[in-house]
Structures are given as C-alpha cells and as structure tokens.
Structure 1
Amino acid sequence: MKSELVAALYGTPGTITTGAIMVAAVMAAAAVLTGGDAVFGLMTAAMLAIGAFRQIAHRRFMRVDLPKASDAEIDRLERLAMFGAWSTAALVSSFGSYAVLKYTYQPVAVLAIAQTIGYLAGVSGRNSSRPLITRVQILIAAVPFLLALASTGDAAYVVIGLTVALTTVLTFSSAQVIHRMFVARLRTMRELETLAVNDTITSLYNRRGFMREIRAIATAGQPVTLISIDIDRFKGINDSFGHDVGDALLQSFGDMLSAELRRGDIAARTGGDEFMVATSRDAPEAATFARRLVMLLGSQRVLAGRHVTATASIGIAPAGCASSIDEALKCVDIALYRAKLEGRNRFAVYTEAIQDEHEDGRAIEAELREGIRRGEFSLEFQPIYNPRSGTATMAETLLRWNHPRRGVVSPEIFIPLAERTGLITVLGAWVLDQAIRTALTWPRSVGVSVNVSARQFDRGHDLVGLVAALLRLHGLEPHRLTIEITESSLIADAEHVTARLVALRALGVRIALDDFGTGYSSLSYLAHLPIDTIKIDQAFTQELGSSRKAEYLMNAITQLAHDLKLRLIVEGVETQEQLAIIQKHATHGIQGFVFARPMTAEKLLPMIGNRVATGRTKSARPGGGPRKGDRFSEVA
C-alpha cells in the first residue's frame, strides 16, 4: 500500500512543472513591478531550481520498479517528494510575507497575496496520499504569511489574514478527508484489479491474470513449460452432488495444486474445471509433477459431507515446443486432448507425432460430419443362436462406415470420435431407426439388439422418448428390441442412467449388460440395475478350453444368472472346443464366428429360419464376437 501512496506523490509531474514556472513568473513580475528588487530575482531563481529538482526526483521515480522496490528506496522517494513540496511552500510563503511587509500599499503586495492564497487553496489535493506532507506544507505556507499580514496593522490586511486563516483551517481539515477518500478509492481499485486477474473460488490467477504473467515471462526470454489440467467428468459431479460440492472440489484442488508448486511456478484456474500451470521445469520434471497430480487428485476426499472421487487429465507442452505463447497454448491443448482420448486419469506430453495424429483426427471429424450427411454409414448384423433349438433368436446390430477415400473405417476410430463430438446421438438415432425397420422383415420370434453409448443417456438427449416414438412409428413389438449398455455408461451419472433404463423397461424393451466379466463392479450393478440379460465378453470366452479357472467361473456365472432369472448370452465363440464347453451350461444364446460373421441384412434374412448343425460347424478366425469398437463404448 505504501508504494502506491508514494507513487501518487509523483502522479502529476506536468502540473508540478507548470506550477513552478507560473510561480517563478509571478515572482519575476514582482521584480519588474518593484524596479528590479534583487530578493524577488533570487526567489525566481530558487523557484526554478526547486522545479528542476522535482523533475529530477520524478525521473528517478520512473526508473524504479515499485512492486519490487525495497522499503529504503520507497522511503527515499518519499523524502524527495517531501523536500520538494515543503521547499516550494516555504518559498511561496516567503514571497507573500516579504511583499506584504516591504511593499504594503503597492500593487505587488496584491499580486503576492493572490499567489499565496491560490497556492494554499490548491495544496489539499496535491499530496493527499500522504497527509503529513500536506499538513506541514500548509503550515509552512500559511503561518509566516499570516504573521506578516497581522504585523502590518492594516484593517484590510487583518481581514485578509482572517480569510487566509479560515482557508488554512479548512484546507488542513479537508486534507484528511481527501486522504481517506483517496485510500478508499485505492483499495477499491486494488480489489477490482484482484478480481480482474484472480479466481474467486481458488484464489489462483484466472485466465486473464495467467496470460498476463506468461506473456511477461516470454517477453523476458525465459523458457516456460505449460501444463493444462482438466478435472474429468466435472459436470457429472456438479449434477450429482450439487454446485456447493463442485466448488468445494475446485477449492480443494486449487489448494492441493498450490502446495505442489515450487518457486517461480504460476498456477491458474482458467475455466470451469480447467487449471493451468506455467513452470520452468523441463519435460521429465513436468511429467513427474503431472504424475503426482494425477495420483493426488484421484484419491477420495470428503467435501461438504459427501465422499467424492475425481480424476484429472493433464497435457504438457515442454518449453521450446512452439515459437510463441499462443502456439504453446495450442500444443498443450492437443496434449490434453490426447490424455482424454487415451482414457482420462493420465497425462500426455506434446510431440510432433501427436500433433500429426491430432490434425488427422480433425480431418476425420470433418469427414464424419460429411459422411453422416451423405449417408456413408450402413448396418451389419450378427445372429445370436439358441443352443437348444439351433435357431437364431436375436441379431446384434453393428455400425459400419464405408468412406469413399479411406475405405472401411474401423469403429475403434469413428465411434469414440462420434462420442466426443456429440454426433453419436445422431448416429445412434439412425441406428435405432434402421435396426427396428430391419427387424420388421424377420420372423416375430427374432429380436434385434442395439448398443447404446453413454452419451445417448445425456440429460439433453431423450433416449426414452426416441425409442418410444420409433416403436410406435414402425409398429415393432417392444420385447423384440434389446438395448445393450456397458458399465462405462453408468460411471458419470449412474442414478440418471438407471432411471432411464427403468423407463425403457417400462416400455417393454429388454435391457442387456454387455461385456460382463471385464468391469470391476458388474456384480454390484446386477443387484440394482433393471436388466434382463447379461452378455459374457469375448475376452472371457477366449479363456475357455485353456483355463480351468475360466470354466469354474463360467459355472458360477451360469448359476448366478439362473438364480437372478437373467438370460445369459456368450459372445466371441470361435472354436468347437469353446462351443462344447458352453453347451454344457444353461445359456440362452451363443454369438460368434463359430456360427456366423457379421453380415448385411440381405444376407442374414435367409439364415434366420435355418437351424445350425453345431456339431459340424467349423471354427473360424480369431475374434469371434463383434470387433472391438463396434459397441458405443464410452470415450467422451
């Protein structure tokens, strides 16, 4: 605060210079009016010298970096300003007193009186940031002049003296009032400046403050590594627990981040759930730092009485990866995008290879939008056979993209991309519509299953309303439609997704839990999810025939499904040995290349009514279930 108050003493250098020249001119005029009084001449020279001294003091002030200046330097600047103000006051007072005493009844006395009273009237606003300077300045200027006026004994001068005394008292008292107003305004400005560059929740810099700091670092030619941190699925935390918990999480992370910074690091909350750090760390040190942040944020914490677990994705742009701060910010965004793409709760360091892949991804994203518009997508179906009857009871719907230039694009590429961009809701609606249409061409004993992405359960997308409308439009019996979900669909907002599943089931639609056996909490989901079917993942199926433990687990899962009255379907069956083992269990459906590969609706239709001779079926190539990525697995 003191540095800012002292800075105010030097806030009007032009006014000080102009004032010194004007006072010197009045003194010079007095010398002329008196026929060349040498005293007035000396006063004129002294006034010009004081003005020059104050200009030199101001130049010294301009060379000092106040925020970094020592207390001694600030005190020195204050003393210089003090000397300039008090010497000016003493000279003005001497001028007025000398003129009144020596030239009492001459015009020069009137000139001196006007000059002195004008100076006194203007003093209060000059140095209001330091009241001591102002008060001493007033006393130096007024007291000798008042004594001179009184000593003349002239009634008119006595009256003038009383007026000067009143002016002095008012100026003296108003100086403190003006000082209080000045300090209050200064505090308000400081608060506004703080709000302009600082985040109110975490007390870190905001984006504006962060950009100011890193641009200053770049201008100084210092290397800077940028680290971008994004709290994963923060919106779900806000929606599930409330904004008070969300704010508490942000504050907790801000405190944790501040505790991990080292000298010279700059941290900021640059967006809703986004943080940035600028550091001099090199790439290996930044990676170690990011790894620790991932670990610290991922630990469970109690916020506002709720147990909250959050994770973070982090991108790192090492110093020297770009020629400018703006380019470095793009690099760190690309690295953060890669960390999220790889599954969140991790960090990624920017490289040129990541840049190239990112640009290719952006190109595919544009092509995906165009592909939807041009109708480049199609469906394939893989039948699911009842092991007892040997006939197909259902077919799983698989989405394909036939790109005119790239050829067949893997679902591992375009499904995650569609989820990140939100285009999955458009594609998902089209898949549901086409799958229901196709199922109408099959016997009424055959149903169709459709994989649904986690994004299709977003609160802004009415999946239940869409399914109800399509069933009503096409006239398909609801029980012939099975909606397949994965555990990942439940991670962000399990309560909301469960409510949507209950509503779907109320329509008569069946619900299947896909990829059973690959997640960490499938058993807990079985206890409360409104599901009809569990599908054993092909990764588990591949172990059958080569692992006794897998067979024991298969026995346990079969018994569990029977006890819970759930239908059991096994995916990825590709060998006769696996088929033989599975046929020992009370499964309701078998899916895999041992029976049929995914095919178009036209090729599937003749096969639906045919029985399969399971004993004579030859094994097919590995990967008997739908290829990885066929499902709308959660990546967004």
Structure 2
Amino acid sequence: IQAHNPYYQYIGYFAFLYVVANIAITNSLHRNLLALSDATKQSKALATALRSQNLTLDAALNTMIHGLAMFDRKLDLAVSNAPHAALYGIPETLALPGTPISAIARFLVERQVMTPEQVRDIKAALDGVQATQQAAIYELQSRNGRMLVVTIAPAAEGGVLMLTEDATERKATEARIEQMARFDELTGLANRFEFNTQLAEAFSRQERTGETFALLYIDLDGFKQVNDNLGHDIGDRVLVQTAERLKSAIRHNDLLARFGGDEFVLILPATDVATVRMIAQRMIEAMDRAFELDTKTVYVTASIGIALAPVDGATPADLLRHADTALYKAKAAGRNTATFFDPAMAEEMLERHEIEVDLRQASSEGALELYYQPIIDLRTQEIVTREALMRWRHPTRGAVPPGIFIPIAEQSGLIAGMGDWAIRQACRDAAKWPDGIGVSVNISPLQFREPRRIVETVKNALLLAHLAPGRLTLEVTESLLIEDNKTTLEVINELRAIGVKFALDDFGTGYSSLAYLSTYPFSQVKIDQSFSRDVNSDEASKAVIEAVCQLARRLSM
C-alpha cells in the first residue's frame, strides 16, 4: 500500500480528530462532573444553612416575651410565635401559615377568650393600619383578667404585624405607683399632691360656675404627746382611726386629705357657712371620743381653721394660708374648736411673723437683755435673791412686752436657745453679787422636752461662772407638770442632787393641784399676782394666801 495514499491520509486525520475530540469531551465531562459535585455540595450547604437559619428564627420568635403574628395582604396568617398562641389560647391547627383571621376570631369568641366587640375592634384596627399604613395601639382585658396591649404596624407587601404584650403586671405596678403618688400609704386618704391638684380644680370650677367652696385645715391636739410617750406605732393607729372618724363626718363628694404628720385638709364643694359649721362641729364631736388601743386609752382632739373661696382667698396658696391662720387662732382659743378666717387675723399673723424674724435676729446677735427684780425678805428687809426677767428693746418698736415675744419664741422653737442663754447669763451676773444673794430663772415647759440639754446647760453654766448651785433657783409653772411628770421629776431630782433649787411659779392659776406641792421637791411656791394684787381689799384672796403660806411652811418651803 502506498504510504502517501490520500485515502489513508484522510483516515489518519479522522482518527486524530476523533482522539482529540474524545479527549476534549472527556475533559469537559470531567469538568462538568466536578462542577456538579461542587454544586451539590453547595446546595447541601445552603440547605443546611437555611435550616439553621430557620431554626434560629423559630427559636428567636418563640423565646420572645411578647406574642408576635404577621398577616398577609388578605389577613391570612403568615407566621406567629408560641407566646402569641399562648396569650390567646390558640391551638396548633390555627397557628399554621395560611389560616384566615376570621377562623382565629371565631375561635376566640367561641372559647370566650375575647368578646365579639373586642374581636371587631381588633379587626377594625388591622384594616385601619392596612389602609393608613400608620401603627396603632389597642388595649383590652381578656376574659381571664389579663391586660393585653396590642400594637399593630404595617408590614411588607400590604401585610400587618401584630405584637401583643401581657401588660398585667406592668399595669398593676403602674397602678400601685399612681396610688402611692396620689394617696397616703397609712390612711388611704388623698395625699398633699392629690390635694393640691383637687384644690386647683376646685378653683377652676369656681371660676366657671361661681360655686363657693370651703377649705378646712385640721390639726390634732395632743398628738405629739401620744407619739412621744406611747410610740409611733400607737400614733399611726390613732391617725388611721382619725381618718375613719373624719370621713364619717363628711359628705361623699367632699375631699379629705392627709396633709402631713397630724394635719388633715378638707375641701367642701358647693357649700354655705351653715353647712361648713355643721360639718366642722361633727368632726370635732367625732374626735372627742377616746381612742381605745389595746390596753391604752388615748384622748386626741381636733382644732379646725376654715377659709371660704373666693372671699377668703382667690388662689390656692392664699386660701390655704388663711385656713392655716384660722387654725392658729383656734389653737390659741383653747383648742378643740373651729374658727373661721377673718381678715384681721392676716394682719395679726403678718405682725407676728415680723416679730419672729426680728426676734430670731435679736437672739443670734445678743440683743436680748436680763433685768433683775429683787426679792426681799420682809422680816429682815434684805434682798435674798433676784429674779431674772428677759427683756427685748426693738430698734423701731421699742420695748416689746415679754407677754408678746415669749409665746412667739415658744411657738417658733427659739425658746430653747433663748432659755440656754438666760441661764448662762444669769449665772455669770450672779457670780458678781454678794454670796448671800441668789438668782431665779424662769424655765419654759418646752425646754424640758429636751431633758439632757437643760441638765447639761445648767451644769455647764454653774461650772463656767463658778457659781454655787445653791444660789440658783429655776422657776417652773404647773403646765410643765401636767405634760410629762415622770421626765420632769427626773430632771428636777438630778439638778436638786447638785444643789439647784426649784420654785413653783404662778400657783393659784390653772389646776393648782396641791399634789404638785407634795410630789415635787419645790423650795418655793410663788402665788399668782391675781391673789396678791387685792390682798388688802379681798378677803378671799387673803384667805388663799394665808392657806398656801401655812401649807408651804408645813412642807419646809
């Protein structure tokens, strides 16, 4: 065969091409198989990742605190979580995607989870959000008492998202906080904040309608002694019973509030003077009864100041201040009474305030003085002691009578500091006198409310002045002995033990119990001037003085 035969050349070419094509096909097939293998692996990986993401999403949805449900444009359920089903009691068959909202609504009504009205409101809210694309919030209380807050918001492709919060505990907490903010925890009455709010509303109503209303300011008489002597537990029980008694004396639309401590305030809407006076008297009578607390019997009365709006005050602050002014006058009038505000009271209180401010300044600047009144032994005609009398010369008012500034000092709390100064100054002055002359200093009952303070003040004053204790006499009135005889007796005995003497001042006024003379170790008794003033013309006064003098001698005074 010829090597160069064209036929064989064609066969060679064809074989070569066949081999090359098979090699190319094989390589291509191999590459495709490799690509298919890679694609299969990637598909499996994507499927695994998708399942993982779905599981993560399900876990996230089902561990949410709030219930979540998403509905499509037709309001068929697209997705929901376990808390949503639990809040509404929805079974698993109704929690599947594609469930119409009408089927869910029918179930909620049939099982009495929600009322038909509530279901209609929710459906209307869903439709409204779809139409306006604006979120909405709806609150409802389910039949089992749960408070649900439903937030509905627009979602993609015309759907809606429904988020449900079980707000039962939150709402209860908010209610408790509001209760604490507006009402007194101890008595359950309105507190100061709520009272101020209601008082402002009363003025707004008065401006609209011309309706007159009254404000009563109530303070308990003797409550501090209950707290000090019997403890705050007993005091709290008295306050609780006081609130109940006061409520029993008023009308259902009247507002009674605890203003603080032992102070109460009352707003009487749409009232007149006669009605106000009647209700105030009922409250006083309600407080007049004894408080029976376990084995203890407690007596606490009420003083009431009354102001009428708008005649006694055109603003809440003015009305409250004037009711407080009337209360002060009721206290000064003997307590356990009600007093209506009078414009003259405001002028008096303003003057009293000015005196208090000036007195505070005079006390701090050392502007007070002690004058000494000699006490003479009628048998020897010699001065045996001098009584220290506090005086105050005001720069513009002149000499202010002690009958004016001493009560103000007692009511404002200045008396303790002024009394300490008087004891120290009297001891310093007496140390300069002849040894046979003593000094007497008047002590306010309020100073004995700090027993350690007065004891230390007396001891330090004697020590610093180098004055013999036997030359100092402290004068007390019987009002001190009535308040707390146990503490008073302890203070007197402690000071008498170092040599200080005590005198009973103004004997013959008040109760004037002879038991005081035998119970307390007095060195002197001072008969009130109302008897000594007319001793030469009034036989009764003379007889009283003679009897007291004989008794004092028998008691070695």
Match of 1:443 in 2: 434
| Offset of residue 284 of structure 1 | 4.6
Give the aligned CA root-mean-square deviation in angstroms: 3.4
Partner letter of residue 332 of structure 1?
A: A
Q: What secondary structure sits across from 1:262 in the alignment? A: coil
Aligned pair in 2 of structure 1 residues 471, 88: CA closer, same or farther (>3 Å)?
Answer: closer
Q: What secondary structure sits across from 2:535 in the alignment? A: coil
Match of 2:349 in 1: 358
Residue number among 176, 179, 188 corresponding to 1:203 in the alignment:
188
| Offset of residue 317 of structure 1 | 1.4
Residue number among 192, 204, 207 corresponding to 1:219 in the alignment:
204
Partners of 1:334 and 1:263 in 2: how far apart?
27
Partners of 1:127 and 1:475 in 2: how far apart?
81
Q: What secondary structure sits across from 2:502 in the alignment? A: strand
1:128–1:182 Cα contact (<8 Å) kept: no
Residue number among 306, 320, 329 corresponding to 1:329 in the alignment:
320
- Size of the aligned set, in residue pairs, is 426
Match of 1:75 in 2: none
Residue number among 301, 318, 337 corresponding to 2:308 in the alignment:
318
Match of 2:551 in 1: 560
Q: What secondary structure sits across from 1:270 in the alignment? A: strand
| Cα deviation code 1:181-218 (max 9, x no counterpart) | 54444344333322322223222211122222222222
1:171-210 to 2 correspondence within 5 Å? 181-210=166-195
Q: TM-score, normalised by structure 1?
A: 0.61
Q: What secondary structure sits across from 2:424 in the alignment? A: helix
Q: What secondary structure sits across from 1:471 in the alignment? A: helix
Aligned pair in 2 of structure 1 residues 421, 127: CA closer, same or farther (>3 Å)?
Answer: closer
Aligned pair in 2 of structure 1 residues 386, 323: CA closer, same or farther (>3 Å)?
Answer: same
Match of 1:305 in 2: 295
1:230–1:314 Cα contact (<8 Å) kept: yes
Between structure 1 and structure 2, the one with the greater Rg is 2
1:448–1:481 Cα contact (<8 Å) kept: yes
Aligned pair in 2 of structure 1 residues 432, 356: CA closer, same or farther (>3 Å)?
Answer: same
Partners of 1:424 and 1:540 in 2: how far apart?
28
Partner letter of residue 142 of structure 2?
A: R
| Offset of residue 127 of structure 1 | 6.3
Match of 1:513 in 2: 504
Q: What secondary structure sits across from 1:405 in the alignment? A: coil
Match of 2:231 in 1: 242
Aligned pair in 2 of structure 1 residues 87, 264: CA closer, same or farther (>3 Å)?
Answer: closer
Partners of 1:228 and 1:444 in 2: how far apart?
55
Partners of 1:234 and 1:535 in 2: how far apart?
31
Task: Tell whether 2:120 aligns with 1:83.
Answer: yes
| Offset of residue 290 of structure 1 | 3.0
Percentage of pairs with the same residue: 36
Residue number among 254, 273, 280 corresponding to 1:265 in the alignment:
254
Partner letter of residue 209 of structure 1?
A: E
Partners of 1:459 and 1:88 in 2: how far apart?
69
1:416-495 to 2 correspondence within 5 Å? 416-459=407-450, 462-495=453-486
Match of 2:242 in 1: 253
Aligned pair in 2 of structure 1 residues 323, 469: CA closer, same or farther (>3 Å)?
Answer: same
Partners of 2:381 and 2:217 in 1: how far apart?
55
| Cα deviation code 1:368-396 (max 9, x no counterpart) | 12222443322222222222222221221
The structure with the greater share of residues assigned to strand is 2
| Offset of residue 271 of structure 1 | 0.4
Match of 2:370 in 1: 379
| Offset of residue 297 of structure 1 | 2.5
Partner letter of residue 251 of structure 2?
A: R
| Cα deviation code 1:306-346 (max 9, x no counterpart) | 12222333221112122222221222222223333445443
Aligned pair in 2 of structure 1 residues 353, 87: CA closer, same or farther (>3 Å)?
Answer: closer
| Offset of residue 438 of structure 1 | 2.2
Can you give the 5+ residue segments of structure 1 that lack an aligned partner in the other structure?
1-18, 27-46, 48-77, 93-114, 116-121, 135-170, 568-636
2:388–2:440 Cα contact (<8 Å) kept: yes
2:451–2:487 Cα contact (<8 Å) kept: no
Deviates more, 1:222-231 or 1:253-262: 222-231
1:248–1:304 Cα contact (<8 Å) kept: no
Deviates more, 1:434-443 or 1:404-413: 434-443
Task: Tell whether 2:316 aligns with 1:279.
Answer: no
Can you give the 5+ residue segments of structure 2 that lack an aligned partner in the other structure?
1-69, 77-100, 102-114, 147-161
Partners of 2:73 and 2:418 in 1: how far apart?
83
Partners of 1:287 and 1:126 in 2: how far apart?
49
2:531–2:542 Cα contact (<8 Å) kept: no
Partner letter of residue 240 of structure 2?
A: Q
1:540–1:550 Cα contact (<8 Å) kept: yes
The structure with the greater share of residues assigned to helix is 1
